[in-house]
Structure 1
Amino acid sequence: MPTLLLVRHGRSTANTAGVLAGWTPGVDLDDTGREQAAALVGRLSGVPLAQVVSSPLERCRQTLAPLLAARPELGGPAVDERFGECRYGDWTGRPLRELAGEPLWRVVQDHASAAAFPGGESLRELSHRTVDAAREWNEKVAAEHGEDAVWAACTHGDVIKAVVADALGLHLDHFQRISVEPCSVTAIRYTPHRPFLLRLGDTGSLAALAPRPERPQVPGGDAVVGGAA
């Protein structure tokens, strides 16, 4: 089955300001974020991409811009709102230090499956829509480009954590144990029986994620006993 590269957007002005951006329009990459986006081109240079999907928010599309300019054959990204940031409702635009004093903050940290943002969505809803998007796009890429295809989705931290938690079989209450840095790449290979987490929050070279004909083959997406080369 295809390999999904979940790219977190580069560092944004909201990240450096310590503000919960959510779906606030006009949140752009800062200088460091633009440097990270430019460096992503080289990090992915050895990885063939069959498809690129993006959150509709500016910071994700800005992160992909250098990569798509370097690979015009990919065209523009397919935009899917399901990869958009969590809808934080009344929390949107507020400083994180201020939000940390809210009673809901501890629920978000310790019991995410019970957390629902006032005027927004619950983390359960976030998990359902993002996991559905990842799996549906994976099936589409497999049908159109083959089982060994690699595709990328540029999205947001909580989205990536929710998809990783699902891939690892973790309860949503544990998703805060997962950390992904700006412009990091998390790789998941789906199989008929289980997903495999290949990278988590990787900020270095990604060349090893290119399809390898010599990869040991095991039936039905089983794990390689004893590890693999």
Structure 2
Amino acid sequence: MATLILVRHGRSTANTSGVLAGRMPGVALDERGAAQAAALPGRLAGVPLAAAVSSPLQRCQETLRPLLDARPDLPLHVEERISECDYGDWSGRKLAELSDDPLMEVVQAHASAAAFPGGESMRAMQNRAVEAVRDWNARIEAEHGEDATYVMCSHGDIVKSIVADALGLHLDLFQRIHVDPCSVTVIRYTRLRPFLLRLGDTGDFAGLVPREAPDSSGAAEVGGGAGAP
């Protein structure tokens, strides 16, 4: 079956302002995010790609734009099912403000039971994203052969939920996975099982440098966080 290159979108204006963007319109890449996107063609140089698939949201399509410009023959497909989680009433709010909401504890420790008021459940989010990947795997293999590779650009929680499925992890454990902006995750699907070849690869180890005020809470960054400062 196909090999999937999952790219989380580059750093966005919402990431740097600490806002949970969700599906809000007009959320673009910030200056660093644009630079991350510009570096993507070089990072994937030499990798044959059969297609590019994107979330419909602006920040994902901006992330793929330099890659598409570098490879004008690469077709782009927009896939609604890999759009960001619908955070409902949480969308557009500061993450610092949401940290005290009782639902946040459920999101962190029991994600399969978490449902956002006015939005969707995290279980539904994972189900639609995994279904989209399976459908695209079958389509890419049928059109390009079982050794074909394609790239898909989506969002932090979507990428993490797809990785959890590939590893056979329960959704309640998916917050243990972390993917930085514009990180590359690679999953090779086979008839019997998927293989995780790369996870959250940015080639940048700045995020491993100890912070002056480390977060000792153990909480995951809902939406994926802004990456290294």
Scaled by the length of structure 2, the TM-score of the pair is 0.88
Percent identity between the two aligned chains: 68
Instruction: Please give the secondary structure, in 2, of the residue aligned with 1:72.
Output: coil
The CA distance in 1 between the partners of 2:181 and 2:20, in whole Å, is 15
State how 1:99-114 maps to structure 2 within 5 Å. 99-114=98-113
Provide the residue aligned with 1:38 in structure 2: 38
The CA distance in 1 between the partners of 2:86 and 2:2, in whole Å, is 29
Whether 1:98 aligns to 2:106 is no
Provide the residue aligned with 2:227 in structure 1: none
Provide the residue aligned with 1:141 in structure 2: 140
State how 1:114-193 maps to structure 2 within 5 Å. 114-193=113-192
- Render the CA deviation track for 1:78-104: whole Å, top value 9, x for unaligned: 001101000000000000000000000
Deviation at 1:46, TM superposition (A): 1.2
Deviation at 1:166, TM superposition (A): 0.3
Provide the residue aligned with 2:85 in structure 1: 86
Letter matched to residue 168 of structure 2: G
The CA distance in 1 between the partners of 2:114 and 2:202, in whole Å, is 30
The CA distance in 2 between the partners of 1:114 and 1:189, in whole Å, is 29
RMSD: 0.9
The CA distance in 2 between the partners of 1:185 and 1:34, in whole Å, is 16
The CA distance in 2 between the partners of 1:193 and 1:70, in whole Å, is 35
The CA distance in 2 between the partners of 1:68 and 1:95, in whole Å, is 33
Deviation at 1:2, TM superposition (A): 1.2
- Render the CA deviation track for 1:99-152: whole Å, top value 9, x for unaligned: 000000000000000000000000000010000001110010000000110001
Instruction: Please give the secondary structure, in 2, of the residue aligned with 1:182.
Output: coil
Instruction: Please give the secondary structure, in 2, of the residue aligned with 1:21.
Output: coil
The CA distance in 2 between the partners of 1:50 and 1:8, in whole Å, is 19
Return 5+ residue gaps in structure 2 as ranges: 205-229
Letter matched to residue 40 of structure 2: L
Provide runs of 4+ in structure 1 moved above 3 Å.
Answer: none
The CA distance in 2 between the partners of 1:22 and 1:203, in whole Å, is 23
Letter matched to residue 59 of structure 1: R
Provide the residue aligned with 1:216 in structure 2: none
Letter matched to residue 70 of structure 1: A
How many residue pairs were aligned? 204
The CA distance in 2 between the partners of 1:101 and 1:94, in whole Å, is 12
The CA distance in 1 between the partners of 2:45 and 2:189, in whole Å, is 22
Provide the residue aligned with 2:26 in structure 1: 26
Provide the residue aligned with 1:201 in structure 2: 200
Instruction: Please give the secondary structure, in 1, of the residue aligned with 2:73.
Output: helix
The CA distance in 1 between the partners of 2:188 and 2:8, in whole Å, is 17
The CA distance in 1 between the partners of 2:74 and 2:189, in whole Å, is 22
Provide the residue aligned with 1:219 in structure 2: none
Deviation at 1:204, TM superposition (A): 2.6
Provide the residue aligned with 2:49 in structure 1: 49
Scaled by the length of structure 1, the TM-score of the pair is 0.88
Instruction: Please give the secondary structure, in 2, of the residue aligned with 1:101.
Output: coil
Provide the residue aligned with 1:208 in structure 2: none
Instruction: Please give the secondary structure, in 2, of the residue aligned with 1:186.
Output: strand
Provide the residue aligned with 2:221 in structure 1: none
Provide the residue aligned with 1:14 in structure 2: 14
Instruction: Please give the secondary structure, in 2, of the residue aligned with 1:159.
Output: helix
